[in-house]
Amino acid sequence: MIHHLPVSPATVVETVSRDSPPVLTVQPGDTVVLESLDSGGHLERQTFPGEDRPRMFTPRRGHCLTGPVAVDGARPGDVLAVHFSAIDPGPWGWTASGGADSWLNHRLGLGEGHGGHLLWEVDTAAGLARSHLGYAVPLAPFLGVVGVACDVDGELSTVPPRPESGGNMDCRDLVAGSTLFLPVNVPGALLTAGDGHAAQGHGEVGGTAIECPMTTTMALDVVVDPPLRTVHALTPTARLTLGFDTDLNTATAAALDAMVTWMESLLSVTRAEALGLSSAAVDLHVTQVANQTWGVHASLGHEALLRG
């Protein structure tokens, strides 16, 4: 069955909580066409860079996300499979860089009061986003935030990604054709999604990407006996494992640990052999530096290891 989930005041949140009632309940295998506003929840497009336009939430506490969506029968210990069949950006986007009180902005000399703004026209026919400065980048749309509820009390910020639930991962590799696997922590999983990005480099180094509205077509399913019980993904080009922590070394180790475990099972080799093969074939990327928590992902290309 195909469900359409439009944006409205009744279908969006700006925090995540296991106590938020689902706005939609689907069966495993169903498809959801999910609309989302840009991360700032703008109700109208900007007409010049940095323009303040009406928003869904004022004052704003977090990302404007659509959901939560419950999947009937999903239970703690399962993994939710989110398959992205189409990710279609809206016609415009924006980027804000610097200006926030962070160690990176201060290191770059772009702390509070020194930020900048870009405005983009998103041309899906040409496959380009064109900035008001005259520079263009190829489109590679994805959702910055896709996550499930954590089994903890209270409302949680949408800003940091979490190893037990995903969320604000900002992983540019999760394009259409990818399947993201998220651990289920509460009955129904309670998926929220949004923060559409028309394009982004690894790292999201300026703090935002090309932030835009998005229409995402995703199939939701439940995996009862997954190869991993951490956040991982299959993309059109690679297998990914993701790690998140306030410490870069810990985030890196988590991503690599999961990849070695996956390869151990997938290739029927010892753990030491899997690490050796990883050293020859696995790439490590800094996923994002923007969200109070380091993100790192390990990537094993589908053609990186050949048999024989």
Distance (Å, whole) CA 72 – CA 93: 35
> Is 90 exceeded by the pLDDT of residue 263?
yes
Neighbours of 306 (CB within 10 A): 6
Question: Rounded to two decimals, what is the model's pTM?
Answer: 0.96
For residue 209, which of 177, 174, 241 has the smallest C-alpha distance? 174
Listed by start position, the domains of the chain span 2-223, 232-301
pLDDT tens-place string over residues 210-239: 999 999 999 999 999 898 999 999 999 999
CATH topology of domain 232-301: Endonuclease I-creI (3.10.28)
The distance of Cα 154 from the centroid of its chain, to the nearest Å, equals: 22
Q: What class is the 2-223 domain?
A: mainly beta
User: Residue 70: which H helix or E strand, with range?
Assistant: strand 65-71
pLDDT tens-place string over residues 45-99: 999 999 999 999 999 999 999 999 999 999 999 999 999 999 999 999 999 999 8
